[in-house]
Structure 1
Amino acid sequence: MTDPIISLKDVSLSLEGNAGRVEILHGITLDVARGETLGLIGPSGSGKSSLLMLLGGLETASSGRVSVLGRDLTAMDEDELARFRRDHMGVVFQSFHLLPTMTALENVAVPLELAGVPDAFERARAELEAVGLGSRLDHYPAQMSGGEQQRVALARAAAPRPELLLADEPTGNLDGVNGAAIMELLMTLRDRHGATLVLVTHAPELAARCDRVIRLRDGRLDTDEAAA
């Protein structure tokens, strides 16, 4: 693999819990190629979401090195990580994390405005139309279904045209029909923007759409890792 977009070298993560220090990830070494779609699977508590958060700079490795786009995330402070995410990443969560006092259009446009994008509202409108919400621009999250809210979250993640898309159980809170629609939209956004996609999923049909699937077990990469 030449010039991976993501490179993890012997990464471990431990966090302080009520019962003391908890070891979450152990010695993860992993490369992801530019343009690849990588699925992270495994039982609950295996460390999938924690690994995704490390890739997004939302958690800090306890040891090892996390490199994204040639930059060492473990060497950045919080402000540097926030700017790096803003400029290079789109993140989609299982819970939609929309601002309830903003319309769909504002939820997508305001982060772009804060990043200094001059055509923020025009770009936000185009992204919402691309996910089928052209008629819902002025609706607030409480006025939308779960599937519609996840579409807004996808548009918000894709609007900055990121090089890396991270998705944590993007279909987890949705029924089968909406989950299938979000899966199609996620793959379309990936292709339209030429992004590398890393996603956590329990859905076999979503994992089957990935170029490669990595299984985690007890905070370690499974030695029986399988390709989709």
Structure 2
Amino acid sequence: MTDPILSLKDASLSLNGNAGPVDILHSITLDVARGETLGLIGPSGSGKSSLLMLMGGLEQATGGSITALGHDLTAMGEDALARFRRDHMGVVFQSFHLIPTMTALENVATPLELSGARDAFERAAAELETVGLSNRANHYPAQMSGGEQQRVALARASAPRPHILLADEPTGNLDEANGAAIMDLLFGLRDRHGATLVLVTHSHELAARCDRIIRLRDGHIAPETARKAAE
């Protein structure tokens, strides 16, 4: 693999628990190519969401290194990481994380405004149209269904045209029909903007749509997927 957009070298994560340090991830080494779609699967507690958080600089590695677009995330402070995510990454969570006091349009426009875009609201409106929510632009999250809120979250993540899209169980709180629609939209946004997509999912059907699958087990990359990645 040449010129990876994400590269982890012996990345580890330990968190302090009531009984002392808890090892979450153990010496993860992984490269993700530009434009690749990578599915992270594994049982609950295997570390897949934690791995995604490391990739996005939302958790700081306690060992090893993580680079994204050639920048060493492990050397950045919180403010620098926030600016890097603003400029280069889109993140979609299972629980939407919309700002409840803002309309759909305002939620989508927020990252664009923070990056200094003068046409933030025009771009936000166009992104809402892409996910089929032009008629909900002036509605607040509490006035929308779960599927509609997740579409707003997708529009917000994709509006700044990120190089990297990170999605953590984006269909986990949705019924089957809404979940399928959200995944079609997510892959469509990936195709339209050419972003690299890293997706955490429990769905093997969804993972099968990815270019490559990495299975985690007890904080390690399962040997069989490591071998496939190297082939």
1:188 maps to what in 2? 188
Q: Displacement of 1:18 after TM fit?
A: 1.8
User: Does the residue aligned with 1:26 lie in a helix, a strand or coil?
Assistant: strand
2:157 maps to what in 1? 157
How many residues align structurally?
227
User: Residue type matched to 1:38 in 2?
Assistant: L
After the TM superposition, which residues 20-169 of structure 1 pair with which residues of structure 2 at under 5 Å, given as runs? 20-169=20-169
Q: For the residues of structure 1 that align with 2:84 and 2:19, how far apart are their CA atoms?
A: 34
In the TM superposition, what whole-angstrom CA distance separates every residue of 1:51-94 from its partner, at most 9, and x where no partner exists? 00000000010010101001100001111100000000000000
Unaligned 5+ residue runs, structure 1? none
User: Residue type matched to 2:37 in 1?
Assistant: T
Runs of 4+ aligned residues of structure 1 deviating over 2 Å after TM superposition are none
RMSD: 0.8
Q: Which of the pair is proportionally richer in helix?
A: 2
Unaligned 5+ residue runs, structure 2? none
User: Residue type matched to 1:200 in 2?
Assistant: V
TM-score for the superposition, normalised by structure 1: 0.98
Q: For the residues of structure 1 that align with 2:114 and 2:11, how far apart are their CA atoms?
A: 32
Q: Displacement of 1:17 after TM fit?
A: 1.3
Q: For the residues of structure 1 that align with 2:134 and 2:18, how far apart are their CA atoms?
A: 46
User: Does the residue aligned with 2:223 lie in a helix, a strand or coil?
Assistant: coil
Instruction: Provide the identity percentage.
Output: 80
Q: For the residues of structure 1 that align with 2:147 and 2:81, how far apart are their CA atoms?
A: 30
- Bigger mean CA offset, 204-213 vs 147-156: 204-213
